[in-house]
Amino acid sequence: MAVYPLKETKKAPQSQTKAIQWLKENLLSSTSNVLLTLTALYLIYLILPPILNWTIFDANFDLTADNDSCGREGACWAFIYDNFKMFIYGFYPQEELWRIDTMFGLIVVMIMFGSWIKKSQYRMHYIIGAFLVYPIAAFFLLHGGLGLEVVGTDKWGGLTLTIVVAAVGIVASFPLGILFALGRQSKMRIVKFISVVFIEFVRGVPLITILFMASVILPLFFSVGMDFDKLLRALIGITLFQTAYIAEVIRGGLQAIPKGQYEAADASGLNFVQKTTLIILPQALKISIPNIVGSFIALFKDTTLILIIGLYDMLAIVGAATSNSSWLGRNSEGYVFVAFVMWVILYSMSRYSKKLEVRFSTEHKN
């Protein structure tokens, strides 16, 4: 028998620089991989130059140009500049635009104030209060009343409308989704039955159908004089649609919670509500963050569908702007611009979700 001394730890061998090693491993590891790399490079060579030429090199950046002086070989960005307000505010009256600016400005102020009182014990009160008060303030700012001139929802449009629809859909569907997810897990037969029927019905129907139903069929149920707002109907439809998806996402999170967590909560004497809100939901929601945000991103994109029931979201504004005789035929610029704005917003949402994930996971490790 023998006794062996402890050995020293050594660094792993590194023969090549990291960049070359990365190239070799990821792009040139086999014959088929080399072929794929070459094909991809060729495709990029085909596609990229025309795009860059149209958007930048051949484009006209003269913001005072009109449709004729702009030229047709490249993009005419004066179109966007000239219609910028319409893209952002829709047909909202000029002299009332400050109300929309205030509404968005308030959000920035609220977030800044929220991060300023990060350590305060009243932070939770503030967040809950903000979520209750802000929608009311935003409603009166946008719609009017309380001394402000009323601006009908037919005047709302552009990015403002896109954000309003998406935000209402997201904020309203989240708590409802939690309720339906819990309902589907419930031991009470009726609650479970209603939840399952609702979720499976809504998920089995395309959003367009729900929007049509909300705008055409729903009014049939109400008496003739009671014609309620087209936008409100769309909001209800979108919220119901999103609720079903969020419910399923959260149900996935709930199912990932080990049985032991329920037992420990029960054994401690917590009642059902305490067990759900203090132990189960915080863990289930944390697991679900990537899928919840993914679902919200999908919703944000789906809001463009409201144009088919005659609401002017940012995408529909392209049509409105190019039907103006002074900017005929500039649809491409409009669609590229809308795509770019959408991408900036959605990519930010996706990055924010990553940040949230990291924050919640490091909370357990530092």
Residue numbers of the site for other proteins (CB under 8 A)? 258, 260-261, 263-271, 274, 278-279, 282-283, 286, 363-365
Select 15 or 366, whichever has its Cβ closest to other proteins.
366
State the Cα angle at 112 between 107 and 116, rounded to 5°: 145
Nearest distance from C-beta of residue 241 to other proteins, angstroms: 30
For 159, the token pair is: 């990015």
Q: Which is nearer to other proteins, 283 or 350 (CB)?
A: 283
Q: CA-CA distance, 333 to 318, in Å (whole number)?
A: 9
Closest by Cα among 138, 146, 140, 147 to 165: 138
What is the number of helices (H) and of strands (E) in the chain?
A: 14, 0
By C-beta, is 105 or 282 nearer to other proteins? 282
Residue 286 C-beta: closest distance to other proteins, Å: 7
Ramachandran assignment for 146, one of left (phi > 0), alpha (psi -120 to 50 degrees), beta (any other): left
Q: How far is CA 1 from the centre of its chain?
A: 67
Shortest Å distance, C-beta 278 to other proteins: 7
Specify the residue, 56 or 264, whose C-beta has the smaller distance to other proteins: 264
Residue 264 Cβ, how far from other proteins at the closest point, in Å? 4
In the bound complex, what is the minimum distance in angstroms from residue 362's beta carbon to other proteins?
10
What contacts 318, CB < 8 A, 6 or more positions away? 331, 334, 335, 338
* Nearer Cβ to other proteins (191/345): 191
Distances (CA, A) of 143 to 79, 137, 152, 242: 29, 10, 7, 24
Residue with Cβ nearer other proteins (5 or 269)? 269
Task: Collapse the DSSP code of 312 into the 3-class scheme (helix H, G, I; strand E, B; otherwise coil) and give the result.
Answer: coil
SS3 71: coil
CA dihedral 334, 340, 342, 344 (to 10 degrees): -150
Q: Between 122 and 221, whose beta carbon lies closer to other proteins?
A: 122
Name the residue among 212, 211, 233, 231 with its Cα closest to residue 222.
Answer: 233
Rounded distance, CA 145 to CA 151, Å? Answer: 9
Choice between 238 and 265, CB closer to other proteins? 265
What's the closest the beta carbon of residue 290 comes to other proteins, in angstroms?
A: 17
CA distance to 232, 260, 288, 351, 360, per residue, from 365 (Å) = 45, 22, 19, 21, 10
In the complex with other proteins, which residue's Cβ is closer, 11 or 259? 259
User: Which strand (E) or helix (H) includes residue 153?
Assistant: none
Smallest gap from residue 269 Cβ to other proteins (A): 4
Least distance (Å) between residue 282 CB and other proteins = 5
Identity of the residue, 3 or 267, whose beta carbon is nearer to other proteins in the bound complex: 267
CB 287 to other proteins: min, Å: 10
What gap in Å lies between CA 359 and CA 286, rounded to an integer? 10
Question: Closest approach of Cβ 90 to other proteins, in Å?
Answer: 43
CA-CA distance, 270 to 264, in Å (whole number)? 9
